[in-house]
Structure 1
Amino acid sequence: MMRAWFLPLALLVLQGCSTIKLGYQQLPTLSYWWLDSTVSFSGAQSPGAKQAIDNLHQWHRREELPAYAELLQRASQLSAGPVQAEQVCRIWTDVQARMDTSMREAVAQAAPVAMALGPRQLSHMARHWESQNEAWEKEWLQGSDSERLQRRLDKTLERYRSFYGELSAVQVSQIKAQLAQSPWTAEWGRQDRQRRQQDLLSALQRISQTSVTPAQAEALLWGVWQRWLQPPEAAQRAVMQSLSQRTCENLAQLHNTTTPEQRQQVTRRLRAYERDIRDLIKP
């Protein structure tokens, strides 16, 4: 529920969507549809949910877009030459800081909405997640190890090509080797997905079934977000930390194999995103 309010923007920026301005302007409507499909708001609940989303969107446009424009400017400058994993990680750390700031505002807006949810909405959410989990498992858990790896490779290549253009056979082999050595597995992914869902559902049930204040509801939702990023279990936390470090190393390793033309393409793409965001900032 919380993440849906700003995740569409992250998808637009990080997955290479070419229509950032249009997508961002439609974000309140898209977010409401997303949330409504998850919890099935009643007629009485819809106005409050829509207003909360609008408030968050206006705040984000005013307060956060300038910081994202600066991040994209730094990333485009960095992409022009060779990079080190530490430089990539610094960019990602700053992105995470911006996400934390956005989530602080998101949980403040979400708390009153969460307090209005009832058993019907929470049951709908659980069923919705069950259906989504079935689809996720069909995509990532079916088939042999080599078939699973190929599906991951196809998705990863799609994202990289949206920035760098066509990749060489050597680069494709390098990416495949990186995925094969990754600590991420479909089994771990399913476990972590279910962990996050259950954590959020438990918090919403507590908010719905007990007399909590808006501040207490906000604190419960913020705790969910923190545990999503830093799981209480040491083993889960270790995997997430390893994944984060490997991502920085893998991206730096691939970028340093790119041709001047590929670097020019990714630099142009990032600068175009920056221009789009700066256009959105204008009154």
Structure 2
Amino acid sequence: MPLLKRLATLLCLLAVLAVAGCSSVTLAYQQLPLLAGLWADNYLDLDSAQRTQLKAQLQAWQAWHRREELPQWQALLRQAHAAMDDGVTQDELLALERGARASAERSLQHAAPLAAPLLAGLKPEQWQRLQRKMDEKTAEWRDKQTGKGGPAERGKRYVSNLERWLGDLDHAPRKEARSDAEGWHFDLAAMAQGRATRQARTVESLRAWSRQDLAGGTALMMQNLLPLPAEQAYREQIIASLLKLLNGLSAEQREAVRKHWADWGAELKTLQAG
């Protein structure tokens, strides 16, 4: 999970739909098995039999998720709506985060037994490819974060994530959010270490699943959703900026956010029924 994607869990579990980069929840959700399969193939270079196996597993997981977790997503959206009514507090943001993590944990617990047979059959060169691809992504991330362009990149990503969850922002809050992110203190060494730790945990958790240590692998995955001590100061900057932005929205902008979430809610109900 990219580091900045963690801020999305402060709003709602719809973070997972970011993989589609799409404003339509329905389209993004329907494409999740395909996109997840393409991602796995890119990182593991699956053979034909493995692709077929993965497709069946992803479809089974989504059928469960549609039935069991979409109602939980709708509850999180209602919780977010309620938080907007009288000013958002840090406790409310953290409660949304806890709800998102709980849904993520249930989803991983259900995914583990489905993924284990495929992972158990991976060849050594496929595990090596996974490590190599993750290292390449880390190198790309470091390149974007270093030098004069680093603050601008963080500002761009922050605003992009905000508008994915809140809808289009007016010029003033968009400008303020970008300025906030560009001004955050960013400890590259600490953040790089955090990314390396999560990368190692991800590989270790997948290997645990491959050995049928489903609970152990899931626990490692869940650790990746928690900030490391060295990242806490950066996290606090994000939370402070979010609170300032959300509580500084005009009545018109708050209504636009509510409509954005209401549209999501309507799509989720349709997906659940389908």
Same structural fold, with TM-score higher than 0.5 when normalized by the shorter chain: yes
Contact preservation (8 Å) 1:21, 1:277:
yes
Distance 1:26 1:16 in 2: 11
Q: 1:151 aligns with which of 150, 153, 161?
A: 153
**What is the CA distance between 1:131 and its match in structure 2?**
2.2
The 5 Å alignment of 1:183-194 reads 184-194=186-196
The match for 1:265 is 256
- Tell me if 1:249 matches 2:245: no
Range that drifts further, 55-64 or 156-165: 156-165
Change (3 A) 1:241 1:112: farther
Query: Which consecutive unaligned segments of at least 5 residues does structure 2 have?
Result: 2-8
Equivalenced residues, count? 263
Question: Does residue 1:172 correspond to 2:175, yes or no?
Answer: yes
Partners of 2:20 and 2:30 lie apart in 1 by 17
Deviation (angstroms), 1:169: 4.1
Aligned positions of 1:195-214 closer than 5 A: 195-204=197-206, 212=211, 214=212
- Describe the shift of the 1:138–1:242 C-alpha distance in structure 2 as closer, same or farther (beyond 3 A): closer
- How far apart are residue 18 of structure 1 and its match? 1.6
Report the counterpart of residue 112 of structure 2 in structure 1.
107
Q: Which position in structure 1 is the counterpart of 2:4?
A: none
The 1:223/1:158 distance shift into structure 2, 3 A limit, reads closer
Contact 2:173 2:245 in 1 (8 A): no
Instruction: Report the secondary structure of 1:83's partner residue.
Output: coil
Structure-2-length-normalised TM-score: 0.83
Assess, with a 3 A threshold, how the Cα gap between structure 1 residues 26 and 15 changes in structure 2: closer, same or farther. closer
Partner of 2:24: 19
Check the 8 A contact 1:80/1:264 in 2, yes or no: no
CA RMSD of aligned residues (A): 2.9
The structure whose Rg is larger is 1
Percent of residue pairs bearing the same amino acid type: 24
Match for residue 227 of structure 1 among 223, 230, 235: 223
Q: How does 1:27-176 map to 2 (within 5 A)?
A: 27-141=32-146, 143-144=147-148, 147-162=149-164, 163=166, 165-169=168-172, 172-173=175-176, 176=179
Distance apart, 1:70 and its partner CA: 1.4
The 1-side partners of 2:32 and 2:46 are apart by 18
Q: Unaligned stretches of 5+ in structure 1?
A: 2-6, 231-235
Aligned residue type for 1:34: W
Shift of 1:139: 1.6
